[in-house]
Structure formats: C-alpha cells, structure tokens
Structure 1
Amino acid sequence: MNCKGLILAIILLLGACTPERKTTIEDTGNIDSLFVAFYDFQKEINPIEATKAGIDIYNDTVVNYISDGHQEFLRDSYTSFLSELEKYPVSELSTEDALSARVLEWDCRMKLEGLNNSLVTMASPIYNLPSFELMPLFQVQSLHLYVAQLAGGTSVQPFATKEDYENWLHRLEDYLQFLDTCMEHMREGMKKEIVLPKVLTLKMLPQIKAFIDIPLEENLFYQPVLHFPEAIQEDVRVGLKADYERIITQEILPMYEELYQFLEQEYLPVCRETDGLSALPNGRGTYDYLIRLHTTTKMTAEEIHALGKQEVERITGEMEKVKEDLGFEGELNDFFNMVRTKKELMPFENPEKVIAHFNGIRERLSLRLDSVFNLRPKADFIVKRTEAFREASASAEYVPGSKDAKRPGTFYVPIPDVKSYNVVHDEALFLHEAIPGHHYQLSLQQENQGLPEFLHPESMGVFVEGWALYAESLGKELGLYEDPYQYFGMLSMEMHRAIRLVVDTGIHAMGWTREDAIAYSLAHEAESEEGIIAEIERYMATPGQALSYKIGQLKILQLRNKAKTELGPKFDLREFHDQVLGSGSLPLVLLEEKINSWIASYE
C-alpha cells in the first residue's frame, strides 16, 4: 500500500470518514475574492470536474462524497459562503457581479437544503447530480461507471507523463475507499429499508462482472500501460506496469469480487419491488426538492405532469403532419414502427461510416452558423464511438474539453450494432450534443473571461440541457432538416423529452409503475422498446434530472418569443443568443430577469 493508502487506512481505523477540513475565505473587501474561494471549493469537492477542465492539481484524488465527515464539511462550507455573501449587498454591485452573486447564493441554499434531506447526498462527481446517501451506486451515471471510463486512458484523465500514471494509481486508492464506504452505507440502507429497486440492481451486476475473470491485458484498468506515450522511458514503463498489475490483481479485483458478492447475495434479495422515490421514507418530500433543484422553479409534480401531457399532444399533431406529408397511410404507431425498421434509415456497414456521417453534418451546419450566432468557441471537438464496456446501455453524450482548449471536447456516439444503427435522429442529435448545443454552450462558458471561474464548469442542468434541446429547434435556420425523416427525428427527440415530464413525475409522485411508464412511452414515441426500458430505468435511478431538458427549453423559447414580439424589427436572433449564452448557466428566474432587462434597454 502506498503512503496515501496507508493514511486512508489509519483514518478508517480511527473511525473518521474524512479528515476535518474548513473552507478558508480571504476577506479583501472585494467580492472577487469570494468568487475565487468558491471556485477553489468547487474544485476541492469535485476533483474529477477539475480534471475535466484541465486543472491537474487534483488528478490524484477522488472525494469520498458520501462519507459523514465530507457531508458535514459541505454544510459548514455552504453556510460560510452565505454568511460572507451578506457582506456584499446586491444593490452595491455591478450588474454582472450581482448576477454572479445571486447564482452563488442560489447554489449554496439549494445544496444546503439537500444536505439536510434524509435521503440525498450532495457533491456527487457525476454530471453534477446529487446522490443518495444509502443508495450511492446504480446502473447509470454512477461513479463506478465513470471511473471505468477514465481508466481506459482515452477520456479526460491524462496519461502523458510518469506523474500522470502515478496520479491515477493514487486516485484509484481513493476510489477503492469510496466503494468500501458504499457497501457500508448500503448495508445501513438495508436495515432501514432504503434500497434500490430490484431491477436496477440486476442491471449493475453485469457491469461489475465485466471486470472479473478476464485476462489482465483486457482489463480497462490495465490499458494505459499497454499504450505508453513515446516520452516515457523503458525502465519507467517496466515499473509502472508492475504497479498497475499489482493494484489490479491485489486491490481492484478483490474489491470488485467483494462488491459483486455483496450485491448478488446480500443486497439483491432485499431490494424493493416498487419503482418510485415516493415509496421510500420522505420520498415525496425528497422528490419535491429534486424538482426545485433540477428545474430551478417552484413547479409542482402535478403541474409538470400536466405540462408534459400538453406537450405530448402538441408534438403528436406535428408528427401527424409529417406522416401525411410522406404519404404514409395508417396510424401514427404504425409510422413509428416503419421508421424503427426502415432499411434505408440503417445504411451503414461499419462504425467509421457513422462517425463520418456526423462529421458531414458538421460541414453542412458550418455554412449557416454566422447567420444565427455572433459568438464562436475557440475549443474544438471530436466525434468518437462510445467505449465497448458501456456502449450497450449508454446514450450519446458530450464531454467538455479542457479550459485551455488544448484537449478538445468529445461527442460520444454509441454504436452497439452498426447494421441496426438508425440515422433518423442524427441531425437533431448533433445539434444537441455538439453545435450549437453542449459543445458550443459549454465551451463558450469555459472561455468567457468576463465570468468568475466558478461559473465556468458545467452546472445548472436546466440551463445546459434546456439550451441543448432548444438548439435542436434551430435546425431549419441552420440549413438542416431538409429530409422530412430528419425533421421527424427532431420531433421524436422533443417528444422523448416531453414524455419525460409525464413519466418521471408519474413514477416518483403519482404511483406509476415501471411498466406503466414503459407503456406510455411506447405509445407516444418511435424509440425501440429496449431503448425505452433503459431510459425509464434511468429516471428511476436519477429522479427529477430528466425534467430539466424540456423545462429549460420551454423557458428559452418563451423568452425568445417575448423578445421578438416586444422588440419587433429591432430583434436580432444573434444578439438574443449572445444574451442567453453570455453569463454562464443561470437558474431560470435569473435568466428571465436578464432577458427582460435586455428587452427594456431598447426602450
């Protein structure tokens, strides 16, 4: 065991979960110092996000974010930041600083509320999502999956120097401690009957099993030492290979075997048959909190459920028009089935053709970009196939590049079976994940030197995902959707997000079962049954997160229509986009205030 592992072992023996820490905030009389301190705090509590941004000082660390000591540290820190913020009345700040201060306040208050919730644990490193203290592992967006993604050496964890390779070994020691704490907490959850639905635990078992009983050379954790950069000398390579073999065979595999046995033999037999959060103690109250966290609104589950059904009805009408324009005779569900199975929409023989297809969309899109946007990010991005170990259950996703733009962003595309890969969604998918969606918005956010750095990382899902879904609607203005099937693909993706409003609230607040949600989705969209099942199970694991897309999109569309109506000929779409993208990720109430002020400035 290395020194870092020994220290962690001593801490455990003493009964402490994390060393006692305290956030230090330098009082200079300038709010910039508070913003700097908050960004330093963000990096400390979420070191993997720091790595994603290209900040290397935490590359050797995983925070044990479910430990009691860490949660107490978060409570003290958020309370301290709110106390310090009182020294800077909003009325005495510049417009830009006042907006940033209000984002900081919103974040601290919401996180404190979560920390005081009996089910939720804050500061998960996965997509800025909260976790559950007694249910810390699940089949999607879980740390064991994220670490595996980093382990392969082709993601955001750097493997360029000897120090990089050693940093990863130290990070793995932290990760192993986290897994040990997970099993402790899950055993406590078993006693309190706060456990995962059985169907989700069943999906985790093969994920863990995939790392057991395979040759060392095939293990993802061993891949970095099979692909050394040329700069690393041969004698160093030999030592690193030995270190990686040791940690895999003596620490990672035994931990994974222990975790697998625990999940299969202890945990699975007591998992619950219910599906929604409301089946747990304080479940409905927790879901109400998660709605506020993920939507930044005060909407109730019932209001969101009704809005979702309204949107499903509207989009269904648009789909009927496309079906009629294509001359299809039959019901809409028959049209869905035709689209799912149409051979002309599955034209590829190898995965490379799929990647080339997306790069072709990029070329066409670039010809019209200046007519819709003034701003352009410096950072580049690449389109890449999703790694094999998670491809079967993964959705397309975007991972931001580094802040200095040296490491490009990555648009991951899962292609588990290329011959059945359907292109119907591809133009809308590119708009959402790449340009002008996640790559565009998140890169501009990172590169904006006018923002405090705490506003640079990905955050505020309702803004980030709302913008990406709004970006899908810009296809015709950007020269896409000339093929009616691609336009139908956009409607299908919007329908998918509208359905989320219905099924997420249905499962977690209205007593819907997993089967109810699957049936509703199958009746209203063209996704495959396999894909729909994976999505419904994702909502079961991450309550409320799926609401952010449509709620955010609808607010941006509402503000665009308001600006266009009130400004008339003065309205410039490029300037509207500048306003939306110019202040980082904002809670919707603050975005609305900003756009209203911009409209008023023309009067």
Structure 2
Amino acid sequence: MKQPLILTFLILLSYGCKEKASDLFSIDTIFEEYYKFKDRINPIEATKGGNYEYNDFIANYISDDYQEDLRKNYSHFLNVLAELDTTALSEADLLSMKVMKWDCEVKLEGLNNSIVTMASPIYNLPSFELMPIFQIQSLHLYVAQLAAGGSVQPFETVEDYDNWLKRVDDYLIFLDTSIAMMKEGMSKGIVLPKSLAQKIIPQLDEFITNPVDAHLFYKPIVAMPESINEAEKSRISGEYSAMITEKLKPKYTELKQFLVNEYLPACRETSGIGALPNGTETYNYLIKLHTTTNMTADEIHELGKSEVARILIEMEEAKNKIGFKGDIKAFFESVRNSPEQMPFTDPQQVIDNFNSIKERINVTLNQVFDLKPKADFVVRRTEAFREASASAEYVPGTKDASRPGIFYVPIPDVTKYNTYSDEALFLHEAIPGHHYQLSLQQENKDLPEFLHPESMGVFVEGWGLYAESLGTELGLYEDPIQYFGMLSMEMHRAIRLVVDTGIHSKGWTREQAIQYSLDNEAESEESVIAEIERYMATPGQALSYKIGQLKIRELRTKAENKLGSKFSITEFHNQVLNSGSLPLILLEEKIDNWINSQI
C-alpha cells in the first residue's frame, strides 16, 4: 500500500527534521490525507459517499490489527496538527482543522477504552468489541441492506457484482471474529442483555431458511442489468448461488446455534452498560462522544426531566385546543388507537402521504432557506427483514447527486400505521432535516472532503430535531393533530435524555424505561419497546438529538435578540449549514463570530 504523505512527514520528524508541517505540506494536503485515511478505515462509508475504490472490501473493525492501525494513525495526525503553523490559516480552514483535531482526540480516547472500539460502518456509531452484534444498527443488518441492491452498494457492472462477492468474504471473516469476541466477552462478563440477544436470533432465520431464488442476497441477480452479457450472467448467477448455499447459510446457521446454545444462556438480566466492568467510565465517554460536551449523566437526566415537564404543559394546551375532555394520558391513548389516524390499507399509501408533504413544503421553502441541495431523495419502505426493530431513517445519496438519498419508513403493519406525527417526521428525515443538511454538506466544494460524510451525531440529529420546529414557518401543522405530533416527537427526544441516562447510569430496568415512556408520550407500546431496546444497544446516541436541538435553538434566540431587525433567518440557517457537522462548542464559536460581524 502506498505510504501516505503524512507518514513521510512523521518519519522526517523522527529523524530530527525541525520544519513545521506547514513548511512541508499545505493544510489542504493534510485534509486530503485525512480524508483518504477515513475512507480506507471505513470502506462502506466510502462507497456511501461515492468513492468506489474500496467496493470489494469490508473492514474487520473489531480485530486487534485494525484497532492498532487506528491508534497509530489518529496519533500521527494529532502530531501533524501540533506542528502546524495556524497563523496563516483562513477562518474556514482553522475551523475545519479544529473539527479534525476533535475527531482524532475523541476517537483515540474511544480506542483506549476497554469496551468501545471506533470506526464501525454503522451510521458513524462506535462498536463494542466484545458485543459486536445487536438487534439494531449492526453490521449483519447493514450488510443485508446492501446485499438487496437499491441501496448504496452498486450493482451495475460485472465488476460491481464481483466486488460484492469479495465483500461478502470479508463479512464472513467479521462474523468469525464476532463469535470469537463474544466468547471472550462471556469469559469477562461483557455480554448483551438477554432481551436484545433474543431479538437477533429470528433476524437470522430469513437468511438460513429462504431458498436461493427468494434469498435477499440473490436479489441483485434477479435485477441484473441487460448490459451484462449472457455468459457473465450465467457465471455470476452460479457464483451468487454458491455463495449463498456454501458460505452464507452455513455461517448464519453456525452463528444462530452459537447464540441459542452458548451465548443466550450467558446473557445478563441487567439493561444498562453501567452494569458491565468499566461500564460507568465507558458511558461517560459515550456521553462526550455523542453530545460533544462535558455534561454529566446527572445533568442530562435532570435536563431531560425539565424538558419533559415543559413539553407536557404545551401538550396539555394542544389537547385542550383539539377539544379532548379527558386527561393527557387518556389523550395519548386516544391518539395511539384512533382509527382516523390509521387510515391506510396499503403500504404505498404511506409513501404517497410523505410525497404529498414534499409537494406542499416546496411552496414555502424559499421563505426560510436560500441554500438548497442539488440531490433529490426518494421515500422507500424499510426492508421486511429489519423493519420490526427499525426506526425511520435517512441514507444520503452520492456527492454528485447521481443516486438520490433514501428516506426509509418502517411499515410492519400498515393497518396500524399512525399518521399523527408524519409532518414532523418528514421535516426531520427529509426536508429541511437530514436530506437538506447532509446533501448540502457533501455537495459543499468549499469544505475539505473529510467533512462531507455524515459525522457529528449531535449536529446531524440536533439539526433534524430543530427542523421539526420549523413546520409552522413552512406552512405545515395546520391540522392540530399534526402539531400535537410535533410536540410528541420533541417529547420523544426529551424522554430519551431521561431513559438513556436512567438505563445506563442509574440502574433503570428495561421495564422502568418502557413505563416512563408510555406515561409521557403517545407512541404505541410496540414502538416504545423497540425504542428502549435501541437505547440499550447504543448507549448515549439517543442523547444527541435534544442536546443538539437545544443548542441550535439557543443560538438562534441569541442571534434574534442581539441582531433585532438585522436578523435574517435564511442567513442564520446558512451559517449553521455551510461548515459541515460541527462539535457544539465550535458551532457556538462560529455563530457568535457571525453575530458580532453583523452588529
């Protein structure tokens, strides 16, 4: 493998060369090398961003060799930045450099934690080395999503089809490593809660029992392009059949037998990471990673309870305007079970409803935004094998907008699909939420490329939740039930602050967290259970939404108060969106500088 230029510089340093990094390399070169490093260590994310150099590779990110490579390189980049003369940097480059430094430092800290390892390909989340497989946001689910086609993995050429076979071979190595790591976890008492492990087992059945011609991993063969000649079609079809029957099914069978016979009996009854060895320290780190703050679990827990109380008052007012005569809990139950809010009989009707919101919002966007992405997006039903445990989500398109973004909606039972919060959900996942923010980020040619992919969850999810609050300004929420749905979505994220810290820091049980949610929001019990189990699997990630939203709203209020008539909502949004995903301390620094420049 070609030696990065950055490592050449570090070798020079080791031999006593005293030149500063800026004397040898421009900041653009450092950014470029960092981007190449990030794509190399997370090849699926590279594919997702339109870099197809690593399409035949999946990183075994829980292996010791991989983690040592990360430690070495993050340390090297920090050494480079320490030697850099920053006095000549532009304001934009200095901000990007600070983001890079923060990223290196926080990822290195995670690598030195005894439970966490970094650079998982799943939504930029960390992985747990000894608990590598979960019921949600886990590589076995992500790989299946890619395998089906129609997602970020291309299936257009012979090379694309051959690349996927090589990726599957890497994935099977990952599964072997996962079994070994879980066995080590069993010996150290670092295992999943039993309720989560139980959810993984039925997910594997579809890949074991389905015949080849109906197998998810065979779908690209069914949809093979006409441009591939018959001889290649025959060869590829045979190789995919053999991959499924001779490699994939036996490996999934082995994994299932291990989970059922060995792992599940060893799983724990506790719910939170705090119950594990070094769990408290790990959770404190995950709070820092996911919120980019130094807030404590206690501070976040109390903030969450305060937000729940505030939103309950607003929900009470909304309930009274609607004319409901019972108390708020009765109203929650009414909304959960209202036939009027569950009108659909066909999944396509759910998709059509979101597309109609898209048409309505396009009329008013110019009043609030003047930055608009080139990329489009499509609304698609979440695949059946994962939708029972899935939440709605957005997957960005490519940088050149050749592949649109995808807004995935789980519809496990269309007759029970409740529409009461669809407008807020659209604002969050699509426009002006994730589709806008992430598309603008990766299309921004003024940003270094390492800032193009999805990154700081507290910024990305904070923006998504902030976007929900813009519905009235964008001409939505005219239906009072939809406005209540927006409050419910915000309440859902406020509850997360309470239950995530409760589970992982205060010893709450799964059942306690479920009941707290049911007492304070209108989500169905089935949905609440899936959400609580998601928080159990991904400690700290759920904190990012509300922490980020509160900071963006705080900064908007500060700008409105200080600038008065000079305040421009479109320019404020430009300032938030035109520098990529930022740690909150850097976002605040940027907005403060902008405010001062306008006074």
Indicate yes or no: 2:525 matched with 1:529: yes
Q: Which residue of 2 aligns with 1:5?
A: none
Q: Which residue of 2 aligns with 1:561?
A: 557
1:261-280 alignment runs, 5 A limit: 261-280=257-276
Indicate yes or no: 2:342 matched with 1:342: no
1:214-262 deviation line (CA, Å, top 9, x unaligned)? 2111110111111111111111111001000111111111100000000
Q: Which residue of 1 aligns with 2:252?
A: 256
Q: Which residue of 1 aligns with 2:496?
A: 500
Q: Which residue of 1 aligns with 2:468?
A: 472
1:136-151 alignment runs, 5 A limit: 136-151=132-147
Q: Which residue of 2 aligns with 1:164?
A: 160
Q: Which residue of 2 aligns with 1:110?
A: 106
Indicate yes or no: 2:147 matched with 1:155: no
Q: Which residue of 1 aligns with 2:221?
A: 225
Q: Which residue of 2 aligns with 1:7?
A: none
**Which one-letter code corresponds to 1:483 in the other structure?**
D
2:419 pairs, out of 416, 420, 423, with: 423
- Secondary structure of the residue aligned to 2:114 is coil
Contact 2:149/2:220 (<8 A) preserved = yes
2:454 pairs, out of 454, 458, 466, with: 458
CA distance in 1 between counterparts of 2:523 and 2:85 reads: 50
Q: Which residue of 1 aligns with 2:212?
A: 216
- Secondary structure of the residue aligned to 2:208 is coil
The Cα shift of 1:24 comes to 4.5
Q: Which residue of 1 aligns with 2:18?
A: none
**Which one-letter code corresponds to 2:451 in the other structure?**
L
**Which one-letter code corresponds to 2:376 in the other structure?**
D
2:186 pairs, out of 185, 190, 210, with: 190
The Cα shift of 1:587 comes to 0.1
CA distance in 2 between counterparts of 1:127 and 1:143 reads: 10
Contact 1:90/1:101 (<8 A) preserved = no
CA distance in 2 between counterparts of 1:270 and 1:21 reads: 45
1:448 pairs, out of 444, 451, 473, with: 444
Indicate yes or no: 2:40 matched with 1:44: yes
Q: Which residue of 2 aligns with 1:297?
A: 293
CA distance in 2 between counterparts of 1:391 and 1:591 reads: 34
- Secondary structure of the residue aligned to 1:196 is coil
Unaligned stretches of 5+ residues in structure 1: 1-19
Contact 1:431/1:475 (<8 A) preserved = yes
- Secondary structure of the residue aligned to 2:378 is strand
Q: Which residue of 2 aligns with 1:62?
A: 58
CA distance in 1 between counterparts of 2:399 and 2:285 reads: 32
1:176-213 deviation line (CA, Å, top 9, x unaligned)? 00000000111111111111111110000001122112
Indicate yes or no: 2:68 matched with 1:72: yes
- Secondary structure of the residue aligned to 1:382 is strand
Identity %: 66
CA distance in 1 between counterparts of 2:512 and 2:31 reads: 46
Contact 1:396/1:414 (<8 A) preserved = yes
1:68-96 deviation line (CA, Å, top 9, x unaligned)? 00100000000000011122233331101
Indicate yes or no: 2:410 matched with 1:414: yes
Aligned residue pairs total 584
1:91-110 alignment runs, 5 A limit: 91-110=87-106
**Which one-letter code corresponds to 1:366 in the other structure?**
N
2:373 pairs, out of 377, 391, 407, with: 377
The Cα shift of 1:442 comes to 0.2
Cα 1:21–1:231 change in 2 (3 A) is: closer
CA distance in 1 between counterparts of 2:311 and 2:226 reads: 54
CA distance in 2 between counterparts of 1:22 and 1:266 reads: 43
CA distance in 2 between counterparts of 1:417 and 1:119 reads: 37
Contact 1:438/1:464 (<8 A) preserved = yes
Contact 1:21/1:73 (<8 A) preserved = no
Indicate yes or no: 2:587 matched with 1:595: no
1:407-453 deviation line (CA, Å, top 9, x unaligned)? 00000111111111111010000000000000000000000000000
The Cα shift of 1:387 comes to 1.1
Q: Which residue of 2 aligns with 1:11?
A: none
Indicate yes or no: 2:547 matched with 1:543: no
The Cα shift of 1:371 comes to 0.4
RMSD of aligned Cα (Å): 1.1
Indicate yes or no: 2:408 matched with 1:405: no
- Secondary structure of the residue aligned to 2:83 is coil
Give me the TM-score of the superposition, normalised by structure 2.
0.96
1:439 pairs, out of 424, 435, 445, with: 435
Cα 1:497–1:133 change in 2 (3 A) is: same
The Cα shift of 1:326 comes to 1.2
Which deviates further from its counterpart, 278-287 or 345-354? 345-354
1:124-148 deviation line (CA, Å, top 9, x unaligned)? 0001110111111110000000000
CA distance in 2 between counterparts of 1:345 and 1:534 reads: 21
- Secondary structure of the residue aligned to 2:408 is strand
Contact 2:135/2:389 (<8 A) preserved = no
Indicate yes or no: 2:177 matched with 1:181: yes
Cα 1:361–1:179 change in 2 (3 A) is: same
Contact 1:23/1:77 (<8 A) preserved = no
Contact 2:284/2:297 (<8 A) preserved = yes
The Cα shift of 1:23 comes to 5.2
Contact 2:492/2:521 (<8 A) preserved = yes
CA distance in 2 between counterparts of 1:441 and 1:573 reads: 16
CA distance in 2 between counterparts of 1:527 and 1:315 reads: 15
**Which one-letter code corresponds to 2:251 in the other structure?**
M
Give me the TM-score of the superposition, normalised by structure 1.
0.96
CA distance in 2 between counterparts of 1:135 and 1:533 reads: 21
CA distance in 1 between counterparts of 2:300 and 2:87 reads: 34
